[in-house]
């Protein structure tokens, strides 16, 4: 049962009239079968690397999903009076979030058959997890996932500086965002920023254009290896500095925030023209972070393991440990990459997959002042921030926007944020699948069961760390199958 069959199953699921179902704004229980069906649907949506696309575009939809999860978490500030964070809501009025509208809509469509039991916040976290796992091309690699996140009704940030790190800033931005706001460490920030290995920058979203490496659809440490090569400074305008290789026409790019993982460039930018290579060029070593980036460049397994740990922390920021729960299999063992010690719940039966039969609303979530910006991945409607009742519109397909220009959170700090969300009771909102939903739900249920069976080939239930003693460079086996 290969990728083609899974694509057909997903096509049936997405094209069939959806069950009349209210979408929840908090996940309270997930069965093993439900988890498997969601994982399979997301795997089919992302698909394997498409070699028929130009190299810079091969990571567009996976890069978009990872960027969305990072930006959602990055709005958390332990010192702020609000409770923003991993809540299925990003402030689209902020330029940092340009280009996210499309991927939000696409993920809402994939979530539609499951929205009666899973929150948008949990689904975004799961989507990014699936994206990196299927593109890592390392057998058994998993990123931990627990559920229980709640969706925010709105998340418009107060006026003033944004909460995501500036692409033009230095390591002071890592301190401001990752350490002070999110209570993380430099190592976690360095590991999480490595997700730039997926996707690319686009002028319409950030003012920059290009991928961070030539394999933008593969989740590997290639980003760090590229970072250590020689780079030339290119001053586009007073507000935009980028770094290019060779004659400055190379398609790969680094930004100040990337360069600062190894070099000090921001403090003496006017006097620097080159960085990296066999020496440091005009730069000096940024000893606060560089040891982590250099270690990740030298061993893919070390980086993948650290990313797995740091991603879990980033996507749980703001939640009390007992507010999040594990999915268990039929033998009572946790699945989704977590270990038993992470589970504060017990393997009790979860609700059935049967959705409610109340008449669907025609509206879907809307975020704070939306700005329809181009984004990543291929098609469909884009809901916006909070789960209200407006139906998602379908923006014209655009080329996805990478993680660049925005920010990424990193977390390795073991300190829990002081303001931790507590588990609350599940509430239902009249936000439904972004498709007309009036026909009997049998078709969707059959499709979901089919996806569950097909998940045998994609599911990763065991949390297997990558052997750090493996060879530094992972052999990538790319498929020529097109995206869904």
* Catalytic residue set: 71, 212
C-alpha to C-alpha distances, 7 to 43, 106, 483, nearest whole angstrom: 9, 15, 9
Q: For residue 301, is it left (φ>0), alpha (ψ between -120 and 50) or beta? A: alpha
Helix 120-136 vs helix 101-111: angle between axes, to the nearest 10 degrees?
100
Angstrom distances, CA of residue 277 to CA of 135, 235, 280, 291, 484: 28, 20, 6, 16, 40
DSSP secondary structure code for residue 474 in this structure: P
Q: Which residues of 378-407 are buried (b: 16+ CB within 10 A; e: fewer)?
A: bebbbbbbbbbeebbbebeebbbbbbbbbb
CB contact set of 81 (below 8 Å; sequence gap of 6+)? none
Alpha helices in 91-232 (DSSP H): 101-111, 120-136, 171-174, 186-193, 203-206, 222-227
Angstrom distances, CA of residue 457 to CA of 9, 11, 55, 140, 210:
14, 18, 27, 12, 33
Q: Are 276 and 283 in contact (CB under 8 A)?
A: yes
Angle, in degrees to the nearest 10, between helices 60-74 and 101-111: 100
* Residue length of the chain: 484
How far apart CA 268 and CA 92 sit, in angstroms, is 33
State how far the alpha carbon of 303 is from the alpha carbons of 133, 221, 307, 373, 418, in Å.
13, 7, 6, 32, 28
C-beta separation of 127 from 43 below 8 A: no
């Amino acid at each position: 049962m290969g990728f083609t069959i899974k694509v057909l199953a997903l096509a049936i699921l997405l094209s069939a009239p959806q069950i009349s179902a209210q979408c929840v704004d908090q996940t309270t229980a997930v069965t093993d079968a439900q988890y498997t069906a969601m994982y399979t649907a997301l795997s089919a949506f992302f698909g394997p690397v498409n070699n028929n696309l130009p190299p810079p575009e091969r990571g567009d939809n996976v890069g978009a999903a990872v960027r969305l999860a990072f930006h959602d978490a990055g709005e958390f500030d332990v010192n702020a009076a609000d409770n923003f964070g991993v809540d299925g809501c990003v402030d689209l009025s902020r330029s940092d979030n340009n280009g996210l509208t499309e991927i939000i809509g696409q993920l809402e469509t994939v979530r539609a058959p499951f929205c009666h039991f899973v929150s948008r916040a949990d689904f975004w976290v799961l989507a990014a997890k699936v994206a990196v796992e299927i593109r890592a091309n390392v057998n058994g690699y998993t990123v931990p996932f627990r559920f229980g996140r709640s969706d925010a009704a709105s998340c418009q940030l107060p006026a003033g500086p944004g909460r995501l790190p500036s692409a033009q800033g230095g390591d002071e931005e890592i301190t401001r965002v990752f350490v002070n706001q999110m209570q993380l460490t430099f190592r976690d920030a360095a590991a999480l920023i490595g997700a730039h290995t997926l996707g690319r920058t686009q002028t319409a979203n950030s003012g920059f254009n290009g991928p961070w490496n030539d394999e933008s659809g593969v989740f590997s440490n290639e980003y760090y290896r590229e970072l250590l090569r020689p780079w030339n400074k290119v001053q586009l305008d007073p507000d935009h500095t980028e770094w290019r290789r060779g004659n400055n026409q190379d398609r790969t790019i680094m930004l100040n925030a990337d360069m600062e993982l190894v070099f000090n460039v921001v403090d003496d930018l006017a006097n620097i023209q080159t960085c990296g290579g066999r020496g440091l060029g005009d730069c000096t070593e940024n000893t606060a972070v560089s040891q982590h980036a250099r270690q990740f460049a030298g061993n893919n397994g070390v980086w993948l393991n650290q990313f797995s740990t740091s991603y879990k922390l980033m996507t749980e920021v703001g939640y009390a440990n007992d507010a999040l729960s594990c999915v268990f299999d039929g033998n009572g063992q946790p699945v989704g990459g977590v270990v038993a010690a992470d589970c504060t719940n017990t393997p009790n039966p979860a609700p059935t997959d049967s959705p409610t039969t109340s008449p669907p609303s025609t509206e879907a979530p809307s975020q704070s002042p939306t700005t329809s910006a181009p984004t990543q991945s291929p098609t469909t409607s884009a809901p916006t921030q909070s789960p209200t009742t407006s139906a998602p519109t379908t923006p014209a397909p655009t080329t996805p926007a990478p993680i660049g220009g925005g920010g990424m959170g990193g977390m390795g700090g073991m300190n829990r944020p002081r303001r931790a969300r507590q588990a609350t009771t599940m509430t239902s909102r009249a936000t439904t699948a972004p498709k007309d939903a009036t026909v009997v739900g049998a078709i969707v249920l059959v499709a979901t069961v089919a996806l569950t069976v097909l998940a045998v080939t994609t599911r990763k239930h065991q949390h297997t760390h990558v052997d750090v003693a493996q060879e530094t460079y992972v052999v990538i086996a790319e498929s020529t199958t097109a995206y869904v």
